[in-house]
Amino acid sequence: MTPSMRDTGAVIPQETGFDEITILWISEGMSCDGDSVSMTASGQPAIEDIVLGLIPGLPKVNLHNKVLSPAAGGEEFLAPYRRAARGEMAEPFILVIEGSIPNENINGDGYWTSFGNDENTGEPLTLNWWIDQLAPKAWAVVAAGTCATYGGIHAMAGNPTGCMGLADYLGWEFRSQGGLPIVNVPGCPIQPENFMETLTWVLYHAAGSAPPPPLDHMLRPQWLFGKTVHEGCDRAAYYEQADFAKDYNSPKCQVKIGCWGPVINCNVPKRGWMGGVGGCPNVGGICIGCTMPGFPDKFMPFMDMPPGGSLSTLLIKPYGALIRRLRGITNVTANREPKWHHNGPELTSGYNPRWRPYGPADPRRQAAIERNRP
């Protein structure tokens, strides 16, 4: 792949997989770096296993992330980013952006966020400058966390930065050098395995051994965000029975105290957070919709019942009351042993030694049994 081919922005067909690939991770978007921190908790797979080449079938991976990079920092850390910006990277690279993208057209006389300085002028290089240089040359572009995918907290109403998600900045029709759309992995922060599983799929695709990851209309991995929180929630059965929590100490459904789970695309209750443990509703927290494009504005105030919650809970109340009553009756009968479990002088289980499930007994076989009976 020559620099001139990269600079044209043309999609380069991949006939065979790559043996080596670089990940350039920039977390200088408007963020708290929580996605980088969360990602380190993944165990299936762990980022260490990918970098050390312990996962069969993946290309060699060179990771550059300010939290995890072995570089001393400064210009040594920036060197691969500068090479990629000049189109001089020897191997293909994946660009990972963490944090929302500010609008530098409204920054006045300053800048909103920067990453390194211009080598000639010494002036800060904005995140937007790096995205403009790197995204068209990247083999794949991945947005890590809700801030990077849809703008997140920094893009909420009233913000002065004009923040947005990466797809809003590059365009929803953007395609990388590998022909991929932006891969959005939302979460505030990302669920560790959700992100690493997606990145691993992209790496297998880069190796030529997997198809592109399937994405939904908001560019999220379909297999991770195709179901709602409610569908995987430990508390979902309480909703069906119209048994709702009135405070945060209750183990019951939390819709009436602010949970948006029935309409939020997220798998955290089913997957857990670390090692399969946790997930907001599983540990007593309400779902505030942090994986959604409308977060946080559409879900505030967080502790209030969702707009449709009062109607849905009212409609399900008579059904739930009836179901709870019927299930209670069945539960009582299910908690009783059969009547023939006793220590009396007679066998009352209904056992008949002459009964055969497949027709009448063979007289000759029965006679043989009788002759051999002690």
Q: What is the DSSP string of 202-225?
A: HHHHHTTSSPPPPB-TTS-BHHHH
- Average pLDDT, integer, range 47-63: 96
Helix, strand or coil, per DSSP, at residue 82: helix
Q: Please give the full DSSP string across 16-71, using - where no structure is assigned.
A: S--SEEEEEEE--SBS-SHHHHHHTT--TT-HHHHHTT-STTPPEEEEE-TTT--S
When pLDDT is cut at 50, 70 and 90, the band that residue 355 belongs to is low
**Is the confidence at residue 3, as pLDDT, over 90?**
no
pLDDT for the residue 120: 93
H helix runs in 250-308, sequence order: 268-271
Whether the CA torsion 29, 300, 277, 149 is positive or negative: it is negative
Residue 6 has pLDDT above 80, yes or no: no
284 contacts 338 by C-beta, under 8 angstroms: no
Mean pLDDT within 131-158: 97
* pLDDT value, residue 73: 81
Least confident stretch, 20-24, 129-133, 254-258: 254-258
Average of per-residue pLDDT across 327-341 = 91
**How far is 353 from 195, CA to CA, in rounded Å?**
62
Q: What is the mean pLDDT of residues 35-49?
A: 95
Residue 366: what pLDDT? 65
- Tell me the average pLDDT across 315-325: 87
pLDDT tens sequence across 59-81: 999 999 998 887 778 999 999 99
CA dihedral 63, 64, 68, 73 (to 10 degrees): 150
- As a whole number of angstroms, the distance between CA 3 and CA 86 comes to 8
Per-residue pLDDT averaged across 30-39, rounded?
94
- Residue 5: pLDDT above 70? no
pLDDT value, residue 352: 80
Mean pLDDT of the residues in the chain: 90
- pLDDT for 326 beyond 80: yes
Beta pairing partners, 164: 101
Q: Over 60: is that where the pLDDT of 56 sits?
A: yes
Query: Could you read off the pLDDT of 169-201 as tens digits, one per residue?
Result: 999 999 999 999 999 999 999 999 999 999 999
Smallest CA-to-CA distance from 118 within 126, 110, 128 is with 126
* Ordered alpha helix ranges (H), the chain: 3-7, 34-39, 47-51, 74-85, 127-134, 146-150, 166-170, 192-206, 222-225, 236-240, 268-271, 309-334, 363-372
Asked whether the predicted pLDDT for residue 8 surpasses 60, the reply is: no
- Return the pLDDT at 374: 62
Please state, as a whole number, how many other Cβ atoms lie within 10 Å of the Cβ of residue 62: 16
What single letter denotes the amino acid at residue 242? A
| Residue 221 in this model has a pLDDT that exceeds 60 | yes
- Residue 189, preceding bond cis, omega within 30 degrees? yes
Mean pLDDT of 91-120: 95
> Distance between CA 255 and CA 308 in Å, rounded?
10
**pLDDT of the residue at 360:** 58
Alpha-carbon distance 260 to 122, whole Å?
47
**Under 8 Å between Cβ of 21 and 203:** yes
User: Which amino acid is it at 207?
Assistant: A
**pLDDT one-digit tens code per residue, 233-286:** 999 999 888 999 999 999 999 999 999 999 999 999 999 998 889 989 999 999
**312 alpha carbon, distance to own chain's centre:** 27
- In order of 20, 83, 118, 249, 300, the CA distances from 121 in angstroms are 34, 18, 6, 58, 44
pLDDT at 305: 87
Residue 158 pLDDT more than 50? yes
* CA-to-CA separations, 324 to 10, 256, 328, 333, in angstroms, rounded: 61, 19, 6, 15
pTM score, whole prediction: 0.84
Distance CA 253, CA 244 (A): 5
pLDDT band, residue 316 (cuts 50/70/90): confident
The predicted pLDDT at position 250 comes to 94
pLDDT at residue 131, rounded to an integer: 98
Lowest mean pLDDT among 97-106, 265-274, 306-315, 339-348: 306-315
Under 8 Å CB-to-CB from 353, ≥6 apart: which residues? none
Higher pLDDT, 235 or 6: 235
302: pLDDT strictly greater than 50: yes
Mean pLDDT of 142-156: 97
